[in-house]
Amino acid sequence: MVFSSIPFLYYFLPAVLAVYFLTPRKGKNAVLLLASLIFYGWGELRLLPLPRDTLLGQLRRDFPQAQPEDLEAAAQRSGGNLGQAKALMQEGLQLPPQTEGFLQALCQRSPLLLMQTLVPLEKWKRDALGDLLSQWVALTEAALVNRSGLTAVSPGARQLAAVYTSTELHKILSALQKGSLYLQSNVSPGAVCGYLEWELQVPKK
């Protein structure tokens, strides 16, 4: 409800004025306070957090293929906001094949798989590679969040967190951030991919 809306002008305002003028002098401030709370609360009701069971039920209907732990993590991370929970779920479920290859290479600690993922990217345009690296950075950050004790929504982030220590994840994150910075500094995609091939080779345990 806004000041120029029909409900405000024809229903809410006349009702508040009538109650205000009929209320004794001592209660007028209380009427105005209550009317203000109702007015502002009316507009912000959609931002109130949903009960956990309601939120989880809606997420199950919207994402029937999702794992229960993904739904739980999205509900927890969203603070009860359905829109944010859906965005977190979509972020975690929609991974391009290059990111799948990146995850597989890192989780297996395989330099060969890493090279097979990165070599085709050497021919990508700088902007497209930058977007992909941003996704890899977000994935690694989510894995670090998972290592800190807060469940990540992305299954890929949870896989990384299970395989790597926090120190190793910081090393991977630093390499990806430097690669993104090099791209912005006009370094060629081929050189950035070569740098990442070298820097992301975390030794097997």
d(CA 96, CA 102): 10
pLDDT at 47 over 60: no
Element (H, E) at 46: none
pLDDT average, residue stretch 115-131: 92
Confidence of residue 89 (pLDDT cuts 50, 70, 90): confident
pLDDT tens per residue, range 155-203 = 888 888 999 999 999 999 999 999 999 999 989 999 999 999 999 876 5
Question: Is pTM, for the whole model, over 0.75?
Answer: no
**For 110-119, what is each residue's pLDDT tens digit?**
889 999 999 9
